[in-house]
Amino acid sequence: MQVFKIYPQGFAANSYFLTQDEKTAVVIDPAQPRIADEAKRRGLTVTHVLLTHGHFDHIGGCAALQAEGAKVGCLAKEAPLALGKNNMADYFGGHVPPFSVDFTFGDGDILSLDGMQFLVIATPGHTAGGACFCIGDHLFTGDTLFAGDIGRSDLPTGSGAQLTESVRKLYALQGDFTVCPGHGEDTTLEYERHNNGWVRC
């Protein structure tokens, strides 16, 4: 499996391409419409989109990828936020082209996509329907866990207590993982267990 990290332009999140065969790909959090062009540039056909949560800076490229045939999925509880005004686009002056949620999933589900197996981990706190995805030795954490930090919990549907519990849920995973966050640089789960500025083991 190969992972390609796409840094945002302006105020948006990191986006990730995951491919097993260098022909088809799954995208986690397509932050901007240009992600569709990036897929073409890399010769990848995006079959599925997985959303860690529904804030505008993580979903701006969904419509462009959906127009090319990709199916968009999120935790069932998160769909109303992703598709509604609470995606924070209006608050931050952003824009999300309209899209639909094609499929939903739940905590502990295993998603078999393009020859890859994604473990869904429900991580409420930043939003009520936040999720992380574990595949191989990579952990995609959206705005739940960052390098040295955790997500904010003061936006609609957020909860500080739930966020702390969710971070500890990630720490309880067996072994070490490369943490691929929604913003900033990668880190490792083992490092964050002992050095995170907000939640430690």
- In the chain, what are the domain boundaries? 2-195
**Cα(28)–Cα(17) distance, integer angstroms:** 7
Neighbours of 144 (CB within 10 A): 28
Sheet with 103-105, side-by-side order of all strands: 2-6, 15-19, 24-28, 45-50, 71-75, 103-105
Q: Would you state the structure tokens that stand for residue 164, as one six-digit string?
A: 């702390």
List all residues 6 or more positions away from 24 whose beta carbon is below 8 Å from its beta carbon: 44, 45, 46, 47, 114
- Looking at CATH, the fold of the domain delimited by 2-195 is given as Metallo-beta-lactamase; Chain A (3.60.15)
The whole-model pTM stands at 0.97
So what's the pLDDT on residue 88? 87
- In tens digits, what is the pLDDT along the chain, a chain of 201 residues? 999 999 998 888 999 999 999 999 999 999 999 999 999 999 999 999 999 999 999 999 999 999 999 999 999 999 998 888 789 888 888 889 999 999 999 999 999 999 999 999 999 999 999 999 999 999 999 999 999 999 999 999 999 999 999 999 999 999 999 999 999 999 999 999 999 999 999
